Amino acid sequence: MGASRMSKLCANAVPPESFPGFEAFREGDPHLDGLLRGAIRRIGGRVEVGQLSLDWLSPKKRTFAKLKSRAERLTRQVTYLPERLEIVGHDRRAMVIQLRSLPPYKDEDQIQFNEIHIGRDRVEFQRIAFFRRDDVKRQVALTLTQEHLERLMSDLRQVLGPA
């Protein structure tokens, strides 16, 4: 049986090196708090986030119900991003949950939204822009304060972390 549409979405993540001028980083321990990777660029007191992903190599089994519960908690916790997050899709067989900004940011040129894919042992965060004139969808950077970046990284760790 082939991979589901939802699991294919998660497999198509943009690697951190795809953001020219951004600094790739790695932090953490995959057996304790997960290995967090991403691409950031500091501009003054702000941070541009190109991509964030958390890999968890712990052998602990997770159920779909547990992932869904943690995804729901994440939608309540992450109130500091420009738009609020909602669960917009899931694939129980592949154990993947998709969260997205609702409503997304819109102007006459584009639509932008945050997207988070939660899998059995991986969480990915990205900002997507759909440019109306070109009819093109691209991953773009999200500008945050250092404090909000640290909160986001902590919140992502809690999705796959123990307890």
Residues 114-149: pLDDT tens digits? Answer: 999 999 889 999 999 998 888 888 899 999 999 999
φ and ψ at 92, to 5 degrees?
-65, -40
What residue numbers bound the domain in which 124 lies? 5-12+19-160
Distance CA 141, CA 126 (A): 8
List the Cα angle 50/36/116 in 5-degree steps.
Answer: 55
For the chain, the domain total comes to: 1
Please report the pLDDT score of residue 16 as a whole number.
44
Cβ atoms within 10 Å, residue 122:
19
pTM: 0.84
Of the chain, the percentage scoring pLDDT greater than 70 comes to: 86
Q: Where are the alpha helices (DSSP H) in the chain?
A: 5-11, 64-77, 146-160
Please report the pLDDT score of residue 18 as a whole number.
65
User: Which of 127, 130, 159 is closest to 47 using CA atoms?
Assistant: 127
* Residue 163: pLDDT over 60: no
Please report the pLDDT score of residue 25 as a whole number.
87
User: Is the bond preceding 162 in cis, omega lying within 30 degrees of 0?
Assistant: no
